[in-house]
Chains A and B, each alone.
Chain A
Amino acid sequence: MMRRWFIPAALLAAMALALGACGGDDGGGTEEGDGSITVFSLWGGSEQEAFQKVLDQFTQDTGIETKYESVRDFLPVIRTRLAAGNPPDVAIIPRPGVVAELARDDALIPLEDMGLDPDTINENYSDTWTSLATVDDTLYGVVAKANSKSVIWYKPTSFQEEGFEIPTTWDQLLDITEQYNSKGKKPWAVGAQGRDNSWTLTDWFENIYARQAGNDNYTKLFNGDLPFNDQTVKDALTEMVKIVNDKYVAGGIDTALGITFVDGIGRVFSKNPVAEMYMEGGFVGGIALGDVNPDLEVGTDIDFFEWPTISEEHGNPLVGGGDVASAFVNNEDNKQLIEYLATPEAGTIWVSTGAIASPNEGVAEDAYPNDLVAKEAEQLKTAESFLFDGSDLLPGTLGQDFGTLLQNVIKTPNNMESLLDDFQAEAEAAFAGNQ
């Protein structure tokens, strides 16, 4: 009975295998485009609108149509499309770790192969940024957007009422935290739900770690040269849970783990706020003003200060992130778009929306529509040292799992040791597999 079914089924399977083996050959060189470009990115809401303006201008200038697709599940989708041999024309990749992996799999087109001169493209970018798009000395894209993650958002009027000064040291920040709390106000909100939002915790950690353990250790840690169960990591986490705990976070850790990053912003800056401060990158401003509460007044209702210093020795490094625009298909249209995204004109249109700060040095300061983004751009330019968001550099699943680890640490700080030991075992395997 079973066998009778099996023979035709097996025949069909074999046929399908043979079919699957055909197709998919790569032509070399830059081909003519078809006059339309699909662009993938995970931005939605106000971030998407801002980028759409850049694309619209590009279409106006060149006549090449663009189709923007907001892909929330960016990684699974991009990998499915690649596996199917049907990648998007251009994608904006949020993690340099992924840029490197895709580049090494030959999924990305080196700019030189498209006939673009890397030096011309990089003209307006400092090495810090170009290094994000460079894999094994080959340039694979343009850093489309930069952000500082070393900022803390607060309410100036609330600070005034309480008589708080902008904290410049960690101790001062802890002091403000305690004072808010003693007055019955919840000092902090955190939104770190699930896998999609746990990066807010890795940002907390990275800022503390860079300031407490220094740039060298930071670089070693995220390159696999220092174990995650090192004492420096434990020290940083011990500092982190001085703020990220049930006492100081609105609704406690359970709530922090139950709400998204955007909900967290709402807890501080919506019309019914329940907390006073929020720690996340420069993009919070754009989301707060664009999506959460358009009535906010910059400078009175919302503003940010730089992350305070923890140790004199290590000063105030800037932790930041950037997104890389890269082409998956080698054609004239895509070449033009990449080229356009690297121009000061594109950067100027983009920053004028107030959604982002541009790493492009050709973008004039007065292009920024409000003080928040201008301040962020200034911070990006003048930072004593720049560190890239460490969890985004980790290979494979490790970046996300690091967020999961931190969720567990803030939930049960007492288990820190064993959690870190487990994570280190996983990290060793991941780094070994990556070599």
Chain B
Amino acid sequence: MSSSAVPGPVGRPRGRRLPSLFRRQGWQAFLFVGPALLLLGVLIVYPMIRTSIYSFANLNSRLEVTRWIGFDNYTRLFTKDKSFLNLEEFPPSGALANNIKWMILYTSLSLLLGLLIAVLAARVRYESLLKAIVFVPMAIAATAVAIIWKFVYEPDPSLGSLNAFITTFGADPIAWYGRADTVNYALIFAYVWASTGFAMVVLSAALKGISEEVIEAARTDGANEWDIFRRIQLPLLSLPMAVITVWLLVNVIKVFDLIYVMTGGGPGGASEVIAVTMVDEFGNGEAGYSAAIAVVMMLLIIPIMAFNIRRFRSERVTG
């Protein structure tokens, strides 16, 4: 394996080497990846660069720079814009703080519920039916999910099923997304509902991949079911879990549609997130400011991506 001429990511530099682009295999490879690179360049790299440049300027409606203002957009974002970040309250509030809340709650809940359902479903007769039901929300567009949950949370008990349910126990209806203290949890739960299926399917497939023999051997050695889960299944699931976590994190940093449709960031800006703020500011004619928000979002995603890439590389080493 290590004697292969293709320099793998862990290949040790050996002897004299030409710059890879000019070596035969180098440019051949470039020919293959060229079309993909072209697309990535035009659709991702170029907009990224241009957005970054815009974030240092004031722009008019045609996106022509009217004034270069250095880091003013960023200073405004982090120090003056309380709807983005408000450190005067504890815990801090604002779009950035909300995104962090989302990252923690949404990611852990989707992952844990997915794991739980994957592990438990494997033990019942109607496994495939059960999994199909949990997976269905994945097939629903996020805006449709938003509309569904808008009805669930509707303050009027004659329309909102959740309030209809709690009022049968004599409780007062709760305006789930009209209250600053419930709105984020209501939204996060709706999104967890929509993503658990993904975590479940991946983890369930990974579980099936664990050899029965290993588990039988453990049973013979006297391991109980908890030990099997804790010491065999869980460690073997750590890679798919890491992949799902990354996917969920990236998904949640850019969360937009659900919130935009359900609350528009309200009430009083309580459910603002980065992406919603970005679109609103753009609509208000603040293209430069909006670009700065986009850059912040990108900077949040990059470390997660980098972790993911490193993780894949290390897998190749061990694999």
Chain A interface (Cβ < 8 Å from any Cβ of B): 1, 4, 7-13, 15-17, 20, 73-76, 79-80, 82-83, 85, 98, 101-102, 105, 107, 192-198, 251-259, 267, 272, 274, 396-397, 400-401, 404-405, 407-408, 411, 422, 425-426, 429, 433
Contact = CB atoms under 8 A, between A and B. Distances in A.
Given A194-B264, A255-B155, A396-B286, A404 B83 contact: yes
Contacts of A98: 285
23 contacts: A12-B38, A12-B45, A79-B283, A80-B282, A83-B287, A105-B62, A193-B264, A195-B264, A197-B264, A251-B155, A254-B155, A254-B179, A255-B156, A255-B173, A258-B178, A259-B155, A259-B156, A396-B284, A396-B285, A396-B286, A404-B268, A422-B82, A433-B58
Given A196-B264, A396-B284, A429-B80, A254 B178 contact: yes
Nearest to A423: B82
Secondary structure of the A contact surface, majority rule? helix
B41 interface: yes
Given A13-B46, A17-B46, A257 B266 contact: yes
B266 A193 contact: yes
Contact of A83 (B61, B158, B177, B265): B61
B38 A79 contact: no
Interface size class of B (residues with CB under 8 A): 35 or more
Interface in B259-285: 263-269, 279-285
Contacts of A16: 41-42, 46
B283 A73 contact: yes
Can you list the 6 inter-chain pairs with the closest CB atoms, starting with the nearest?
A258-B178, A194-B264, A12-B41, A194-B266, A75-B283, A257-B267
Contacts of A258: 153, 155, 175-179, 267
Nearest to B58: A433
A188 to B, nearest CB: 15
B2 interface: no
A76 B37 contact: no
Contact of B42 (A12, A80, A397): A12
B263 to A, nearest CB: 5
Given A251-B173, A251-B175, A255-B175, A407 B41 contact: no
B147 interface: no
Given A13-B49, A101-B61, A411 B180 contact: yes
Residue of A12, A251, A257, A405 contacting most chain B CB atoms (<10 Å): A257
Contact of B37 (A9, A83, A102, A405): A9
A4 B9 CA distance: 13
Given A12-B38, A194-B265, A258-B177, 9 more contacts: A8-B34, A8-B41, A16-B42, A79-B287, A197-B266, A254-B175, A400-B280, A408-B268, A429-B80
A42 B269 CA distance: 23
Contacts of A15: 41
Contacts of A251: 155-156, 173, 175
Interface string B165-178: 00000000111111
A85 B42 CA distance: 18
B267 A193 contact: yes
A12 B49 CA distance: 12
Nearest to B64: A105
B267 A411 contact: yes
A207 B41 CA distance: 53
A303 to B, nearest CB: 24
Contact of A426 (B21, B38, B80, B177): B80
Contacts of A83: 61-63, 287
Contacts of A13: 41, 45-46, 49
Contacts of B318: none
Contacts of B58: 433
B4 interface: no
A83 B64 CA distance: 9
Nearest to A102: B61
A425 B82 CA distance: 11
